């Protein structure tokens, strides 16, 4: 690491911004160390970023999206990181940025330099808007830096959707309440069959799952973000499974099949990184609008969690994000024992 006294002399110096070559192992490792340092300061309760997942993401060229990673360096040392995620099937005017600056090098213009670079690049490739996310504290929640909101505002982005991260602590979860919730959900879900699977989506439900996933951007609240429905077909699903396999992620999914039509009409997914046995991310949960009101959302979530816990004895924490206004999903999560931790702002900027 760089000497802090030396850092004091760097004020005003412009960083070099170069593409990150995924085959450049030492550079990839430096960026991974930066990611660890950033999380330790900004979201200290996050699971440590998984190096295998990072490497897989850097090479994840699929027909659905590609990534362009860059590093900012001063005197050869990595001080910032930018990844531009570019959808390739839909949302062709959008680019989503992950942008971070090492905690020891903040407030020196490195963030601004990376942002300016991102705007130029996004314009060059003919896209019209840039999105990104930052964390902030909730009233009564753990302390979080004000930097993300100050930075988003300073660079002229618009806060376009408020999300809240909630965490379920499985070591203190109210198991009786969850069992009661599951029993109530099962009793309301007559005419539906539960199905669980792992990393590979069952062939017969690929089309139904693609349809449900494609609904997410229109069914879940997106605030002022400009998002089109995603086009999710078999090729895209299988490619994504390949990326998750390469990343070493373990995926648990549950769905319900409507017995009369044979269609899969509800879906939920948990995923655990290779290097973090104690933690899983709760990803999508979606129920087809024609089948709402049967507690299928609660059913798939609790059943999926039970399956994951059976296979993952070390699992202790689950994190999930919801739009702050997504009252239906939030009420299921709160009833399961998820509790709000921090607030996430989705930024959007026309470039």
Ligand X SMILES: CC(C)(COP(=O)(O)OP(=O)(O)OC[C@H]1O[C@@H](n2cnc3c(N)ncnc32)[C@H](O)[C@@H]1OP(=O)(O)O)[C@@H](O)C(=O)NCCC(=O)NCCS
Instruction: Confirm or reject binding of residue 344 to ligand X (CB under 6 A).
Output: no
- CB 154, min distance to ligand X, A: 3
Instruction: Confirm or reject binding of residue 144 to ligand X (CB under 6 A).
Output: no
- CB 79, min distance to ligand X, A: 8
- CB 72, min distance to ligand X, A: 9
> What DSSP state is assigned to residue 49?
P
Among 28, 100, 251, 265, binds ligand X (CB under 6 A): 100
Q: Which is nearer to ligand X, 154 or 177 (CB)?
A: 154
Positions 27 through 56 that interact with ligand X (CB under 6 A): 38, 42
Q: Which is nearer to ligand X, 89 or 149 (CB)?
A: 149
Instruction: Confirm or reject binding of residue 107 to ligand X (CB under 6 A).
Output: yes
Q: Which is nearer to ligand X, 19 or 156 (CB)?
A: 156
Phi/psi of residue 136, each to 5°? -150, 170
Q: Which is nearer to ligand X, 99 or 227 (CB)?
A: 99
Positions 219 through 278 that interact with ligand X (CB under 6 A): none
Instruction: Confirm or reject binding of residue 71 to ligand X (CB under 6 A).
Output: no
- CB 53, min distance to ligand X, A: 18
Q: What is the 3-state secondary structure (H, E, C) of the chain?
A: CCCHHHHCCCCCCCCEEEECCCCCHHHHHHHHHHHHHHHHHHCCCCCCCCHHHHHHHHCCCCCCEEEEEEEEEECCEEEEEEEEEEECCCCCCEEEEEEEECHHHCCCCHHHHHHHHHHHHHHHCCCCEEEEEEEEECCCCCCCCCHHHHHHHHCCCEEEEEEEEEEEECCCCCHHHHHHHHHHHHHHCCCEEEEEECCCCCHHHHHHHHHHHHHHHHHCCCCCCCCCCCCCCHHHHHHHHHHHHHCCCEEEEEEEEECCCCCEEEEEEEEECCCCCCEEEEEEEEECHHHCCCCHHHHHHHHHHHHHHHHCCCCCEEEEEEECCCHHHHHHHHHHCCEEEEEEEEEEEEC
Instruction: Confirm or reject binding of residue 110 to ligand X (CB under 6 A).
Output: yes
Q: Which is nearer to ligand X, 148 or 297 (CB)?
A: 148
Among 73, 112, 235, 292, binds ligand X (CB under 6 A): 112
Select the span of 149-157, 169-177, 285-293, 333-341 touching ligand X (CB under 6 A): 149-157
**# residues near ligand X by CB under 6 A:** 22
Task: Report the residue number whose CB is nearest to ligand X.
Answer: 111
Q: Which is nearer to ligand X, 131 or 282 (CB)?
A: 131
- CB 101, min distance to ligand X, A: 4
Positive or negative: CA dihedral 66, 72, 78, 79? negative
Select the span of 45-53, 144-152, 267-275, 327-335 touching ligand X (CB under 6 A): 144-152
Residue numbers at the binding site for ligand X (CB under 6 A):
38, 42, 99-101, 106-112, 132, 134, 146-148, 150-152, 154, 347
């Amino acid at each position: 690491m760089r000497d802090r006294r030396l850092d004091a002399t760097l004020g005003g110096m412009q960083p070099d911004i170069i593409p990150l070559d995924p085959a450049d192992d030492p550079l990839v490792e430096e960026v991974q160390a930066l990611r660890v340092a950033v999380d330790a300061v900004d979201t200290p309760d996050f699971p440590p970023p998984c190096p295998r997942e990072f490497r897989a993401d850097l090479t994840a060229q699929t027909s659905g999206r590609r990534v362009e990673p860059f590093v900012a360096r001063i005197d050869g040392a990595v001080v910032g990181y930018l990844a531009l995620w570019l959808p390739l099937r839909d949302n062709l005017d959008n680019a989503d940025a992950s942008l971070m600056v090492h905690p020891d090098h903040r407030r020196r213009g490195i963030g601004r330099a990376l942002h300016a670079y991102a705007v130029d690049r996004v314009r060059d490739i003919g896209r019209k808007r840039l999105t990104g996310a930052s964390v902030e504290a909730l009233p009564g929640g753990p302390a979080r830096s004000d930097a993300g909101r100050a930075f988003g505002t300073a660079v002229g982005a618009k806060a376009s959707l408020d999300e809240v991260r909630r965490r379920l602590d499985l070591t203190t979860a109210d198991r009786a309440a969850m069992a009661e919730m599951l029993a109530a959900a099962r009793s309301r879900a007559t005419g539906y069959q539960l199905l669980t699977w792992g990393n590979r989506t069952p062939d017969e439900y690929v089309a139904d799952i693609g349809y449900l996933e494609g609904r997410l951007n229109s069914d879940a609240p997106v605030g002022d973000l400009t998002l089109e429905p995603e086009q999710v077909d078999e090729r895209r699903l299988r490619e994504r499974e390949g990326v998750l396999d390469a990343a070493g992620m373990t995926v648990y999914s549950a769905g319900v099949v409507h017995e009369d039509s044979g269609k899969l009409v509800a879906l939920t997914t948990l995923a655990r990184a290779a290097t973090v046995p104690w933690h899983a991310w709760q990803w999508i949960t979606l129920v087809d609008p024609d089948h709402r009101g049967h507690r299928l959302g609660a059913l798939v979530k609790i059943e999926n969690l039970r399956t994951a816990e059976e296979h993952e004895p070390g699992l202790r924490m689950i994190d999930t994000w919801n739009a702050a206004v997504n009252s239906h999903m939030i009420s299921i999560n709160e009833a399961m024992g998820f509790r709000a931790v921090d607030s996430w702002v989705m930024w959007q900027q026309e470039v």
